[in-house]
Amino acid sequence: KAGVTQTPRYLIKTRGQQVTLSCSPISGHRSVSWYQQTPGQGLQFLFEYFSETQRNKGNFPGRFSGRQFSNSRSEMNVSTLELGDSALYLCASSLEGGAETQYFGPGTRLLVL
Amino acid sequence: AQSVTQPDIHITVSEGASLELRCNYSYGATPYLFWYVQSPGQGLQLLLKYFSGDTLVQGIKGFEAEFKRSQSSFNLRKPSVHWSDAAEYFCAVGAGAAGNKLTFGGGTRVLVKP
């Protein structure tokens, strides 16, 4: 079974632009979570989607948003990019969410100039 | 709110020596605990998890961890490290029934000396 895939793997943007990242979960998984990893703040939870609905949200500004499609694929969008948004964005999937193991993708490395 | 502390930012160990990584958590209910490993430029790979039951859990790559409720700890151990174990290790606590939010510790970077 294929693992979690994320596209693109690398991205360079400039301040003020917006970006969309994509995540395809493991087949059969319905929960998709997103995390931001930076050297200063570590790994931080952004949000979780289940059955096309946002079920949990972390403490990030409204510039960070996401959605999930009927096939469980998910996208996250960051508008009006700031230098501090440079990070590794990790997507994780699990069957139903809750007390389950999350399987992580390789991440998308975003650099904002 | 839940939190995870990994007191050691860096650990250097000789190949063949034993390794122990510390993890302390704060969570109001029964925790769901995980250890993940991250190699440079890679995503996170699950080493092991604790949901309930036996407090000593076995994972992949020869790792094990022990859940101690009285100490709010979930330390990771390996009897004999290999050069390929050099990586960053993250302890995490799950929100359980509240959804799939993981709270991570700051990570411990392990360097293996030949």
User: What is the predicted pLDDT for the residue at B99?
Assistant: 60
Note whether A97 contacts B94, CB cutoff 8 Å.
Answer: no
B52-68 pLDDT tens trace: 888 999 999 999 999 99
Residue B18, amino acid: S
A&B contacts, CB < 8 Å: 67
Is residue A19's pLDDT more than 60? yes
Where is B21: in which H helix or E strand?
A: strand B19-21
Query: Which two tokens mark A8?
Result: 């693109």
B20-30 pLDDT tens trace: 999 999 987 77
B97: pLDDT confidence band, cut at 50, 70 and 90?
Answer: low
Is residue B83's pLDDT more than 90? yes
Task: Pick the residue from chain A with its C-alpha nearest to B92.
Answer: A43
Work out the mean pLDDT of chain B and round it to a whole number.
92
Task: Pick the residue from chain B with its C-alpha nearest to A97.
Answer: B100
From chain B, the residues in CB contact with A25 under 8 A are: none
Residue A62, amino acid: G
Interface of A with B (CB under 8 A): 4, 31, 33, 35, 42-45, 48, 50, 55-56, 58, 90, 92, 94, 97-107
Residues of chain B by 3-state class (helix, strand, coil), percent to 5: 10, 50, 40
Displacement of CA B109 from its chain's centroid (Å) = 11
B98: pLDDT confidence band, cut at 50, 70 and 90?
Answer: low
> Over pLDDT 70: what percentage of chain A?
98
